[in-house]
Amino acid sequence: MLKNIPPILSPELLKILNEMGHGDEIVLGDGNFPAASNAKRLVRCDGHGVPELLDAILRLLPLDSYVDSPLMLMQVGAGDEQPDVWKTYKEIVAKNEPGFEDKFSEIERFAFYERARSAYAIVATGETALYANIILKKGVVK
């Protein structure tokens, strides 16, 4: 065992986070996200929600400070309301990466899928909130 590693992060996910380089992206997909059919590298985190994983990941993963938006959300469909989970994401980001809470962007659904296909890895979660998908762009440790 290691100290100070959040137990929700599996050895496989830790390996992926460590392998990623500056500018690589990782997707945290909700339970409805087609993770297996879009992933180059798939990490299964069934039974866990995106907020818990996001919090654990951001304790270790620096966000990219060289881009305007290192945090990307799947844009909601016409007539759908912004999910409550997005507010939670902003709180998690503010806690772990102060100054990044306003660096979110929204990507149209099919463009999000396309971007996910080129991501370094996709994490499949058991998240039940709709539009809870998020892409993180890795930065550098300063």
Active site residues: 22, 64, 113
CA distance 93 to 116: 20
CA distance 53 to 43: 12
DSSP string, 92-132: HHHHHSTT-TT-EEEE-HHHHHHHHHTSSEEEEE---STT-
Which of 108, 130, 119, 137 has its CA nearest to residue 42?
119
Strand residues in the chain grouped as ranges (E): 25-29, 42-45, 71-74, 104-107, 121-125, 134-137
